[in-house]
Amino acid sequence: MPCYNFSVLLHLGTVLKSRSLLLLATKETLATIIRTRFWFSISSLLSAGAHIPADFFGINIAPSSDPRLDDYTVERLKELQLKHIRMDFTYDSFGGDAERLLKRILAEKFMVMLDLLPPKKDAALLASDDAAQQRWQQFITRVNKEYGKKIVCFEIGATPNRSKWSGFDLNSYLSAWKIAYTQLEDSDHLLAGPNVSDFEPISNITLLADMQQNGSTPCTHTDNLFVERVIEPEAYDHRVFGRLLANKFKLNLVKKARIYNELSEQYGCRHTVCTYTDWTSKRLARFSDTPETKKADYLVRYLVITATSQALDQVYWGPLICNRDGIIGDGAADYPEIDNVSFYKSVRGKYENLKIRPAFYALANTIKQLSNTDCIQAANGENGIHHFIFTRENDSELHIAWLRDRYTLPLDSLYSSKQLDAARFIDTVGQKQDPPPICLSERPIFIEFNSPQRLSLTVSQIEQLDVPATPIFASINNVDFISYHTAEWQGAVAIQRGESVKDKIDHMLPYRLLDLPQISVHRDQRNKVWSSKNPVNSGETIVIKENRATGMRKLSYHFKASKGERHWNNASEMIRRGVSSPMPIAYFEHSSNAATRHNYYVCEYVSDAFSARDAFTAFAQGKEEYAGFSKQAVFQALAQYTCKMHNRRIIHNDLSGGNLLMTKTKQNHIKVTAIDIGRATVHPLKGKKITQKMRLIDLCRLCYKLDWPNRKEFMHTYFKEFGHEFDKGWSKPLRNYDRKHQMKRKIKGFLKKKKTK
């Protein structure tokens, strides 16, 4: 929910019914922008100096109609070692599930930020309706009377810039704030607000300026500092000023937090707090088959960055329990009409369906590791490296490090072999890593030392290390990926945990691959593809592809990456997006003129497989099953795979039946895997839409071996998987492909006859 190019200034009149408030908003916004020059003076880089207290971390909780969840919630909070809780409370909370949970939480001595909010309908009326104002005043008075001495902080309302969720607009929120402030100003507890959602500083400026002008500035400036829509916690937000200017304004999480902290100082707030943030499993599942793993990784990365930014006093994570957003799932298939960020009203699922997710353990591990530490080094360069050093009370040191998604860096770039031998490595969820990793990757690692360590590189040198953007790397458990570069060869190699890096590279270099005994040659025309025993593990078979650039291709390849690199990158990205392809093991190319000289790609061998071409040929001949699977089962598996590939923004571009392999799983299901992926186009996760025409053109080669009745049946299956009505124009691209293929056959036949004569 961005403030696109600050065009929200042009629309404030529709939100601010008061002319004086509109003038104040315009004046304050322009003054702030001019004074700070769009906050260019605020750095997006981290620095040492932050102290991370135990109370930096908090979480949001909600009640359930099942009282057993009260005990469960308390147990999980203690397991997390959390003391700071945030909870929503409204008119009908009295005497209900929410008050029951609140009393239990207070009895357990948790520190509660109680978010007070009116029902959505009343929130919309508070600027002008006397009855609504009276109900709100009575509610505040009652809460203060019954809980004023037990609550650490009262927050007033949430997401006033999201009227669709909360009912508030900026005017009605200010009315709610003024009434609450009048009722609570003589109390001993802290007041917090205005809880603007996402990064929309004009809303913050408008609200805080009015509060200051009326002598009702909040003690704690709250905001929901989401970065989920830019996916990675470290990314520059392109939604504010557009993609072209994202690298100019450098609005990453660090800078956003610091801008909000500066606004706190500008308007007299003592604290700056992020009250709610998360990554939803649903959003992560759009581009990954491991959304829960990604949620855990991003949680750690977000919390480490915000804890060391020296801009936020606390961060409350999103819902403890929720199937879409929570770090504990509850099995509920639906989602509330009002978004949890505005009103986390209740746990919707059943007690029996509760399931702890990796993000829960990641939060517990982060709290345990970071609480009561001091950050003495912080690096977050544009090269993607994030590296932190923290000191503990017992003089031991904690290092936390990761790279941006798709990057990798050998640990020996930062540490000596002696340091690596002395270190203890812990993964995101708190498990000891043994054998330890050899590389930094996108998955954060916690590195413990018994005594202070001196790195050979300074922060500036770390931030200037060369971390190439290509090749890109997948994220696979217990596999490290490393780049390789000498005067003769360059490429990448996958190292299984426990394997020797030197031995693995030596065995995968091209001259060693060419000497391996060949089990089978699968192709030897323009390129050569063969299988051999894995020289590192004789129990495995590998596939080796030698790419040869000949004729005119040598000219066109001057402007492309080598086919070996393209195979590696496409396989890595497909695996990242949950689209099955054999795991890349290595690729090598010459260090000069790489694309126009022989280059090599090595991947896993798919054993006991049959191809879509074999199955489709059998179906075209009238058979109703193949390899023990019915025609419908084969069609369904292929439709699911290809549709998922297209949904994940991948176009194969060479989707012949021989390039889709099928194997039988232990559960007697069909697993589909794509091979020969060097021509694939992997589109960015954001950007160009994958159209229906692009999908159909990609399917032309796959359907070629099918007769037309079976083609129609397969396309019906694909469109059903696609979730769209079966298009009458589905056959046009396929018929065009048939004509093109027939013409090529005629030309080849003609040339062959002419050559014979």
22-78, pLDDT tens digit by residue? 888 889 989 988 888 889 999 999 999 999 999 999 999 999 999 999 999 999 999
Domain-ending residue, one of 563, 578, 604? 604
Residues 194 and 281 in one domain: yes
In this structure, the answer to whether residues 306 and 446 fall within a common structural domain is no
- Do 316 and 275 contact (CB within 8 A), yes or no? yes
pLDDT grade for 6, boundaries at 50, 70 and 90? very low
**Residue 755 covered by a domain:** no
For the full predicted model, state whether its pTM sits above 0.85: yes
Q: How many helices (H) and strands (E) does the chain have?
A: 26, 32
With cut-offs at 50, 70 and 90, classify the pLDDT of residue 488. very high
| Predicted local confidence at residue 17, as pLDDT | 59
In a domain, 118, yes or no: yes
Among candidate residues 236, 222, 323, 331, the one with its CA nearest the CA of residue 277: 222
Do residues 359 and 263 share a domain? Answer: yes
CA atoms within a 13 Å half-sphere pointing along the CA-CB vector of 625: 4
pLDDT of residue 11: 46
Q: What percent of the chain has pLDDT over 70?
A: 96
For residue 128, the 8-state DSSP code is T
Categorize the per-residue pLDDT at 615 as very low, low, confident or very high, splitting at 50, 70 and 90.
very high
| Distance of alpha carbon 744 from alpha carbon 754, whole angstroms | 15
Domain end call among 604, 619, 650: 604
Query: Which residue intervals of 45-119 are DSSP H helices?
Result: 68-80, 97-107
Q: Assess whether 186 and 308 both reside in one domain.
A: yes
What pLDDT score does 552 carry? 66
**DSSP characters over 555-580:** HHGGGS--HHHHHHHHHHHHHHTT--
| CATH number of residue 686's parent domain | 1.10.510.10
b/e burial code for range 446-465 (CB count within 10 A of at least 16 → b): bbbbeeebebeeebeebbeb
Quote the pLDDT of residue 324. 94
Residue 757 predicted with pLDDT over 70: no
In this prediction, residue 685 carries a pLDDT of 84
In a domain, 84, yes or no: yes
Kindly state the average pLDDT of the residues 82-108: 97
Strands (E), 574-664: 584-590, 599-604, 610-611, 625-626, 629-630, 650-651, 660-664
* Bond from prior residue into 471 cis (ω within 30 degrees of 0): yes
**What is the C-alpha separation between 537 and 187, in angstroms, rounded?**
71
Whether residue 458 has pLDDT greater than 50: yes
Residue 484, beta-bridge partner list: 491
Q: Residue 188: what pLDDT? A: 63
- For 266, 532, 560, 638, 643, the CA distances from 661, given in Å and listed in that order, are 62, 19, 28, 10, 16
pLDDT above 80: residue 18:
no
CB < 8 Å & 24+ apart, contacts of 161-164: 161/1, 161/196, 161/197, 161/198, 161/200, 161/203, 162/1, 162/197, 162/339, 162/341, 162/342, 163/124
439 has pLDDT over 90: yes
CB atoms within 10 A of CB 538: 8
Phi then psi for 3, rounded to 5 degrees? -100, 75
Contact predicate 441/408, CB 8 Å: yes
Q: Which one has a higher pLDDT value, 14 or 393?
A: 393
* Contact call for residues 449 and 422 (beta carbons, < 8 A): yes
620, 671: one domain:
yes
Is 695 found in the same domain as 709?
A: yes
Per the structure, the complete domain to which residue 424 belongs is given by 373-463
**Which residues touch 262 (CB under 8 Å, ≥6 apart)?**
36, 39, 42
Helix (H) or strand (E) holding 145: helix 130-147
Last residue of a domain, one of 604, 623, 655: 604
Same domain, 311 and 398: no
Q: Are residues 443 and 573 in the same domain?
A: no
Using 50, 70 and 90 to split pLDDT, how confident is the model at 686? confident
Domain count, the chain: 4
Calculate the CA 190 to chain-centre distance: 34
474 domain-assigned? no
> The domain that contains 452 carries what CATH number?
2.60.40
Which pLDDT score is estimated for 557? 73
Does 753 map to a domain? no
Write out pLDDT tens, residues 144-188: 999 998 999 999 999 999 999 999 999 999 999 999 999 987 766
Q: Are residues 285 and 149 in the same domain?
A: yes
3-class secondary-structure state, position 398: strand
Q: Which 3 state secondary structure label does DSSP give 121?
A: helix
What's the pLDDT score for residue 16? 60
Query: In whole angstroms, what is the distance from residue 260 CA to residue 199 CA?
Result: 9
- How high is the mean pLDDT of the chain? 92
CA 160, 162, 167: angle at the middle one, nearest 5?
Answer: 70
C-alpha dist (Å) from residue 226 to 18, 362, 516, 744: 29, 19, 53, 54
Sign of the CA dihedral 408, 440, 57, 287?
A: positive
Average pLDDT of span 654-662: 95
Residue 459 lies in a domain: yes
Residue 9 binned pLDDT confidence (cut-offs 50, 70, 90): very low
* pLDDT at position 2: 42
The structure tokens listed for 157 are 């309302």
State yes or no: pLDDT of 133 exceeds 70. yes
Q: What percent of the chain has pLDDT over 90?
A: 81
Encode 617-656: b = buried (16+ Cβ within 10 Å), e = exposed: ebbbeeeeebeebebeebbbbbbebbbbbbbbbbbbebbb
Q: Are 684 and 651 in contact (CB under 8 A)?
A: no
- 435 and 546 within one domain: no
pLDDT at 372 over 50: yes
CATH number of residue 82's parent domain = 3.20.20.80
For helices 19-36 and 253-266, what crossing angle results, to 10°? 120
CA distance 195 to 158: 5
The HSE-up count of residue 294 (CA atoms within 13 Å, CB side) is 26
Residues 135 and 253 in one domain: yes
In the Cβ-directed half-sphere of 588, how many Cα atoms lie within 13 Å?
A: 20
Residue 619 to residue 705: CA distance in whole angstroms: 9
In a domain, 46, yes or no: no
Give a yes or no: residue 757 inside a domain: no
The Cα 267–Cα 196 span in angstroms is 15
Q: In whole angstroms, what is the distance from residue 123 CA to residue 133 CA?
A: 9
Q: Can you give the three-state secondary structure of 544-558, one letter per residue?
A: EEEECCCCCHHHHHH
172/251 Cα distance (integer angstroms): 30
pLDDT for the residue 746:
81
Q: Could you give the CA distance from residue 241 to residue 741 in angstroms, rounded to a whole number? A: 47
Tell me if residue 497 falls in helix, strand or coil: coil
Residues 600 and 633 placed together within one structural domain of the fold = no
Residue whose tokens read 């939604």: 239
